[in-house]
Amino acid sequence: MKHLIITFMIAILPLYVNAQNSGIFGKKATSTKVTDFSPYMQGAVPVENGLVTFTKTISAPGKTKQDLYRKVASWASARYMPNVENGKWNDHDYFRNLEYATVKSADEAKGQIVCQGCEELVFSSKILEKDFTEVEYKLTIQISDGSVKAVMNNIVYVYTFADERERKTAELYITDDMAFTKKGKFIKQNRKFRVKTVDLANELFSEIETVIK
Protein backbone atom coordinates (compact mmCIF):
# COMPACT_ATOMS: atom_id res chain seq x y z
CA MET A 1 0.00 0.00 0.00
CA LYS A 2 2.82 2.40 0.87
CA HIS A 3 4.44 1.71 -2.48
CA LEU A 4 1.16 2.45 -4.31
CA ILE A 5 0.70 5.76 -2.49
CA ILE A 6 4.24 6.86 -3.32
CA THR A 7 3.78 5.87 -6.96
CA PHE A 8 0.51 7.81 -7.16
CA MET A 9 2.03 10.94 -5.61
CA ILE A 10 4.97 10.81 -8.03
CA ALA A 11 2.53 10.51 -10.94
CA ILE A 12 0.43 13.51 -9.97
CA LEU A 13 3.23 15.73 -8.59
CA PRO A 14 3.93 17.44 -11.94
CA LEU A 15 0.22 18.21 -12.26
CA TYR A 16 0.11 19.58 -8.72
CA VAL A 17 3.15 21.81 -9.26
CA ASN A 18 1.75 23.03 -12.55
CA ALA A 19 -1.61 23.80 -10.94
CA GLN A 20 0.11 25.65 -8.13
CA ASN A 21 2.49 27.75 -10.17
CA SER A 22 1.57 28.35 -13.76
CA GLY A 23 -1.97 27.20 -14.45
CA ILE A 24 -2.88 23.72 -15.55
CA PHE A 25 -2.54 24.68 -19.21
CA GLY A 26 -0.41 27.79 -18.98
CA LYS A 27 -1.45 31.34 -18.24
CA LYS A 28 -4.22 32.98 -20.17
CA ALA A 29 -4.51 36.71 -20.58
CA THR A 30 -5.33 38.50 -17.34
CA SER A 31 -8.94 39.59 -17.03
CA THR A 32 -10.00 43.17 -16.69
CA LYS A 33 -13.13 44.48 -15.05
CA VAL A 34 -16.20 43.30 -16.92
CA THR A 35 -17.80 46.15 -18.81
CA ASP A 36 -19.49 44.22 -21.61
CA PHE A 37 -22.32 42.19 -20.11
CA SER A 38 -23.77 41.00 -23.42
CA PRO A 39 -22.45 37.39 -22.97
CA TYR A 40 -24.30 37.20 -19.65
CA MET A 41 -27.68 38.56 -20.63
CA GLN A 42 -30.96 36.65 -20.81
CA GLY A 43 -30.52 33.16 -22.19
CA ALA A 44 -26.93 32.76 -20.95
CA VAL A 45 -27.95 30.58 -18.01
CA PRO A 46 -29.81 27.45 -19.17
CA VAL A 47 -32.28 25.63 -16.93
CA GLU A 48 -33.05 21.92 -17.39
CA ASN A 49 -35.56 20.02 -15.27
CA GLY A 50 -35.64 22.95 -12.84
CA LEU A 51 -31.85 23.07 -12.37
CA VAL A 52 -29.33 25.56 -13.74
CA THR A 53 -27.37 23.27 -16.04
CA PHE A 54 -24.43 24.14 -18.27
CA THR A 55 -23.70 21.51 -20.91
CA LYS A 56 -21.12 21.14 -23.65
CA THR A 57 -20.40 18.23 -25.96
CA ILE A 58 -16.87 18.33 -27.35
CA SER A 59 -16.05 16.44 -30.51
CA ALA A 60 -12.70 14.62 -30.73
CA PRO A 61 -12.67 12.78 -34.07
CA GLY A 62 -10.41 9.75 -34.21
CA LYS A 63 -9.80 9.64 -30.45
CA THR A 64 -10.70 6.44 -28.62
CA LYS A 65 -12.73 6.33 -25.44
CA GLN A 66 -9.71 4.93 -23.58
CA ASP A 67 -7.41 7.74 -24.73
CA LEU A 68 -9.94 10.46 -23.95
CA TYR A 69 -10.69 8.98 -20.54
CA ARG A 70 -7.01 8.91 -19.61
CA LYS A 71 -6.54 12.57 -20.54
CA VAL A 72 -9.69 13.81 -18.81
CA ALA A 73 -9.01 11.74 -15.67
CA SER A 74 -5.52 13.23 -15.44
CA TRP A 75 -6.94 16.73 -15.75
CA ALA A 76 -9.66 16.09 -13.16
CA SER A 77 -7.21 14.69 -10.58
CA ALA A 78 -5.29 17.98 -10.64
CA ARG A 79 -8.22 20.37 -11.07
CA TYR A 80 -10.16 18.95 -8.12
CA MET A 81 -7.33 18.40 -5.68
CA PRO A 82 -8.39 19.79 -2.27
CA ASN A 83 -6.76 22.97 -0.91
CA VAL A 84 -4.97 23.91 -4.14
CA GLU A 85 -4.78 27.42 -5.53
CA ASN A 86 -4.01 28.28 -9.13
CA GLY A 87 -2.85 31.67 -10.41
CA LYS A 88 -4.13 35.09 -9.42
CA TRP A 89 -7.78 35.77 -8.70
CA ASN A 90 -8.31 37.90 -11.82
CA ASP A 91 -6.88 35.33 -14.23
CA HIS A 92 -9.48 33.50 -16.33
CA ASP A 93 -8.16 30.17 -15.08
CA TYR A 94 -7.84 31.09 -11.40
CA PHE A 95 -9.28 28.77 -8.81
CA ARG A 96 -8.82 28.13 -5.11
CA ASN A 97 -10.17 24.76 -4.14
CA LEU A 98 -11.56 24.23 -0.66
CA GLU A 99 -11.23 21.04 1.35
CA TYR A 100 -14.29 19.32 -0.12
CA ALA A 101 -13.18 19.53 -3.75
CA THR A 102 -12.67 16.01 -5.05
CA VAL A 103 -13.16 13.52 -7.86
CA LYS A 104 -16.15 11.65 -6.45
CA SER A 105 -16.06 8.75 -8.88
CA ALA A 106 -14.18 7.61 -11.96
CA ASP A 107 -15.37 4.60 -13.93
CA GLU A 108 -13.32 3.87 -17.03
CA ALA A 109 -15.61 1.07 -18.19
CA LYS A 110 -18.61 3.42 -18.17
CA GLY A 111 -16.50 6.33 -19.38
CA GLN A 112 -17.79 8.54 -16.60
CA ILE A 113 -16.05 10.91 -14.19
CA VAL A 114 -17.97 12.83 -11.52
CA CYS A 115 -16.28 15.78 -9.80
CA GLN A 116 -17.39 17.73 -6.74
CA GLY A 117 -16.40 21.36 -7.10
CA CYS A 118 -15.90 23.36 -3.90
CA GLU A 119 -13.98 26.56 -4.47
CA GLU A 120 -13.90 30.34 -4.21
CA LEU A 121 -15.22 32.73 -6.81
CA VAL A 122 -13.59 36.12 -6.20
CA PHE A 123 -15.57 39.20 -7.22
CA SER A 124 -13.04 41.82 -6.11
CA SER A 125 -9.94 41.94 -3.95
CA LYS A 126 -8.17 44.75 -2.14
CA ILE A 127 -5.39 44.77 0.44
CA LEU A 128 -7.68 44.36 3.44
CA GLU A 129 -10.87 43.26 1.73
CA LYS A 130 -11.92 40.42 -0.53
CA ASP A 131 -15.43 39.98 -1.85
CA PHE A 132 -15.95 36.33 -2.72
CA THR A 133 -18.36 33.46 -2.52
CA GLU A 134 -17.79 29.78 -1.95
CA VAL A 135 -19.39 27.78 -4.73
CA GLU A 136 -20.24 24.10 -4.77
CA TYR A 137 -21.22 22.25 -7.92
CA LYS A 138 -21.22 18.87 -9.63
CA LEU A 139 -19.37 18.29 -12.89
CA THR A 140 -20.31 15.08 -14.69
CA ILE A 141 -18.15 14.06 -17.64
CA GLN A 142 -19.32 11.33 -20.00
CA ILE A 143 -16.72 9.96 -22.40
CA SER A 144 -17.17 7.86 -25.55
CA ASP A 145 -15.22 7.27 -28.74
CA GLY A 146 -14.67 10.65 -30.37
CA SER A 147 -16.75 12.64 -27.90
CA VAL A 148 -16.75 14.12 -24.39
CA LYS A 149 -19.88 15.56 -22.80
CA ALA A 150 -19.54 17.77 -19.70
CA VAL A 151 -22.49 18.80 -17.52
CA MET A 152 -22.24 21.29 -14.65
CA ASN A 153 -25.19 21.61 -12.24
CA ASN A 154 -26.24 21.39 -8.56
CA ILE A 155 -24.70 24.84 -8.05
CA VAL A 156 -24.84 26.35 -4.56
CA TYR A 157 -23.32 29.60 -3.22
CA VAL A 158 -22.24 30.21 0.37
CA TYR A 159 -22.10 33.97 0.92
CA THR A 160 -22.97 36.74 3.37
CA PHE A 161 -26.11 37.88 1.57
CA ALA A 162 -27.47 40.00 4.43
CA ASP A 163 -26.00 39.91 7.92
CA GLU A 164 -25.04 36.25 8.00
CA ARG A 165 -23.64 33.61 5.71
CA GLU A 166 -26.29 31.71 3.82
CA ARG A 167 -26.53 28.93 1.24
CA LYS A 168 -28.42 29.82 -1.93
CA THR A 169 -28.91 27.71 -4.99
CA ALA A 170 -28.17 29.08 -8.45
CA GLU A 171 -31.87 28.60 -9.26
CA LEU A 172 -32.72 31.29 -6.68
CA TYR A 173 -30.09 33.76 -7.80
CA ILE A 174 -28.75 33.66 -11.37
CA THR A 175 -31.61 32.52 -13.63
CA ASP A 176 -33.20 35.00 -16.01
CA ASP A 177 -36.17 35.38 -13.65
CA MET A 178 -33.97 36.14 -10.65
CA ALA A 179 -31.12 38.16 -12.17
CA PHE A 180 -33.13 40.74 -14.11
CA THR A 181 -35.84 43.27 -13.29
CA LYS A 182 -39.17 43.15 -15.08
CA LYS A 183 -37.75 45.79 -17.43
CA GLY A 184 -34.88 43.50 -18.36
CA LYS A 185 -32.15 45.29 -16.42
CA PHE A 186 -29.47 43.41 -14.48
CA ILE A 187 -29.86 43.32 -10.71
CA LYS A 188 -26.35 44.36 -9.64
CA GLN A 189 -25.91 41.96 -6.71
CA ASN A 190 -27.13 38.97 -8.71
CA ARG A 191 -25.10 40.01 -11.73
CA LYS A 192 -21.71 39.30 -10.18
CA PHE A 193 -22.77 35.74 -9.30
CA ARG A 194 -24.14 35.16 -12.79
CA VAL A 195 -21.03 36.53 -14.51
CA LYS A 196 -18.61 34.47 -12.43
CA THR A 197 -20.66 31.28 -12.79
CA VAL A 198 -20.94 31.57 -16.57
CA ASP A 199 -17.21 32.24 -16.72
CA LEU A 200 -16.49 29.22 -14.51
CA ALA A 201 -18.55 26.88 -16.69
CA ASN A 202 -16.93 28.19 -19.86
CA GLU A 203 -13.44 27.86 -18.37
CA LEU A 204 -14.01 24.26 -17.27
CA PHE A 205 -15.30 23.30 -20.72
CA SER A 206 -12.37 25.11 -22.33
CA GLU A 207 -9.84 23.24 -20.17
CA ILE A 208 -11.40 19.88 -21.00
CA GLU A 209 -11.38 20.76 -24.69
CA THR A 210 -7.72 21.75 -24.46
CA VAL A 211 -6.59 18.48 -22.87
CA ILE A 212 -8.37 16.20 -25.34
CA LYS A 213 -7.22 17.95 -28.52
Domains of the chain in start order, with CATH, are: 2-28+51-212 (3.30.530.80)
- How many angstroms separate the CA atoms of 95 and 28, rounded? 13
- How many angstroms separate the CA atoms of 21 and 32, rounded? 21
pLDDT value of position 114? 98
Residue 103 has pLDDT above 90, yes or no: yes
Beta bridge partners of 17: none
Pairing of strands 147-160, 54-59: antiparallel
Query: DSSP character for 38?
Result: G
Find how far residue 138's CA is from the centre of its chain: 9
Task: State the sign of the Cα–Cα–Cα–Cα dihedral 171, 174, 178, 182.
Answer: negative
Mean pLDDT of 26-35: 51
Query: What does the angle CA 114 – CA 116 – CA 117 come to, to the nearest 5 degrees?
Result: 130
Residue 154 to residues 64, 80, 134, 162, Cα–Cα distance (Å): 29, 16, 14, 23
- How many angstroms separate the CA atoms of 109 and 94, rounded? 32
Mean pLDDT of 60-67: 97
> 205 vs 87, which has greater pLDDT?
205
> 160 vs 79, which has greater pLDDT?
79
Residue pLDDT, tens place only, 153-178: 999 999 988 778 899 999 999 999 99
Residue pLDDT, tens place only, 124-150: 888 778 899 999 999 999 999 999 999
